[in-house]
Homo-oligomer: A and B are copies of this chain.
Amino acid sequence: MKITFLGTGAGLPSKDRNTQTTVLDLNPLSNEYWLFDAGEAAQHRILNTNIKLGKLTTIFITHLHGDHLFGLPGLLTSRSFQGGEGRPLKVIGPRGIKLYVETTLMLTGSHLNYPLEVLELNGGEVLTINKVSVNVQPLKHGISSLGYRLKFPPKEGRLKQQKLLTAGIEPGPIYKEFKTRPVVTYNGEEYITEDYKEHPEPGKVIAFFGDTMPVETERLLADHADVMIHESTYLDGDHELSHKYFHSHIDDVIQLAAECHVKMTLINHVSNRYTKDDIEALTHQLKNSHPEFNFQITEDYLSYEI
């Protein structure tokens, strides 16, 4: 799988960073894309990638602030003309998303040529989308804000080929049965297939956070995540100021990652007040002061393989 950041800025676009848009490429699990938030010009960014709108099947909106949302109507309408015809799309977000989508499409006389489902959530729900378990939790941002914890299905363990051969089981269609069934009969003998397979690899966990100040529900999302995508609008300075604006300070993120044993943290929602040099200096400083904190401050068009 691959996460691509198409907008990593905060509040409003700058020349360097667009507003929030992140794409998850589900390959090889599935030939589709999921989008997390849709800042204005998300579709323009997508034009610069090889992502096809027709393969975009689910859009998760974390909250309704404009820098996470204003690109949604354009994505929905352009998708009709860019391979989306007849291909269902699901939009998931907090309460209000339905009225926003419906009012916008109605007033602009927009008719989509594919089935659109809009799902409003409060947090607390667990959905299953294409074998992926999605745990949704409410965050704390002064406006309803959601985090999404994605738990992918475990990867089946590989066959122990040597052990099969030793038992006299030759390669052929029977191997597929060993892969997919718990018990297999071969030459009149019964085999418990798990004895002939490596342990399954646990499914990856990715936690996408909406904007938030620290709140207890964050732990449910971050717990032992392989990758956590989290805002840090305040990469330095005053903690109180960040919480006053319902945002996270980098120290909050470091603490959350440590307490929840997060393997990798990708930091987005970077304020325009930080220059490229600032980011470089802050990264260097953090790597020194918190060597255990495995992180990257994201940039537009940066991709991360999982």
Q: Which residues of A contact B (CB under 8 A)?
A: 11-15, 18, 40-41, 43-44, 47-48, 64-66, 69-71, 73-74, 77-78, 81-82, 96, 99-100, 103-104, 107-110, 142-143
Contacts and interface: CB of A to CB of B under 8 A. Distances in A.
A104 B97 CA distance: 11
Given A40-B40, A40-B74, A41-B41, A110 B66 contact: yes
A237 to B, nearest CB: 19
A131 to B, nearest CB: 33
Contacts of A70: 40, 70, 73-74, 108
A18 B44 contact: yes
Residue from A11, A82, A100, A104 having most chain B Cβ neighbours under 10 A: A104
Given A12-B78, A41-B44, 17 more contacts: A12-B43, A12-B82, A13-B74, A14-B47, A40-B41, A40-B43, A41-B41, A64-B109, A65-B108, A66-B77, A66-B108, A66-B110, A70-B73, A70-B108, A100-B104, A100-B107, A100-B108
Contacts of A14: 47
A142 B111 CA distance: 14
A81 B40 contact: no
B64 A143 contact: no
B71 A40 contact: yes
